Amino acid sequence: MTIVKRETEKPRSPLIFRLDPRSGVPTYLQLVHQVEHAIRLGYLLHGDQLPRLKDVVASLSINPNTVQKAYRHLEQEGLIGARPGQGTFVLASPETVGLAELEALRKRLVDGWLRDAAAAGLDEEGIAALFASALRDFRERQSDTAHGSQLRRARAPREAGGVA
């Protein structure tokens, strides 16, 4: 007689880590950024389990200390928390745009701007640099607009009261 032990299936994490050895970004920070982005974009929600340390180590062939460092960093930020014997889970749920709207925005970005940038001859680094530059300009305009409306509100009472 043979007894077969059935293992109960553990919930799998919706996150699969990928590393870019050419990025110049330390491995642990690449893991941190991927979790932060997944939470920010709504791919990881409060209560979702992160991949187990041994699974990350096996799939990426990296040192366990690297994964521990990344998870410890995320835990210090209050984004995740470990449950002994159960795994590591997402604690944060920042406000985000709905998944359907994010997908629509992503599709427009890929099918429009990114396609045009590639057709113009930009490589991945050029596209990233152009996007970063445009994002900085966008932030500055947002900041200038907010600052301008604060100035207008501050001036309004004086102008209305006729004080010179």
- DSSP H helices in 11-123: 27-40, 53-60, 64-76, 99-108, 115-119
pTM above 0.85, yes or no: no
- List, for residues 143-162, the tens digit of each pLDDT value: 877 656 555 555 544 444 44
Q: What is the pLDDT of residues 13-29, one digit of tens each?
A: 789 999 999 989 999 99
Using DSSP, state whether 57 is helix, strand or coil.
Answer: helix
* Tokens matching residue 15: 């996150």
Domains of the chain by residue range: 27-90, 99-161
User: How do residues 109-128 score in pLDDT, each as one tens digit?
Assistant: 999 999 999 999 999 999 98
DSSP structure class, residue 82:
E
Residue 130's alpha-carbon distances to 28, 39, 126, 140, 153, in angstroms, are: 26, 25, 6, 15, 35
The CATH class of the 27-90 domain is mainly alpha
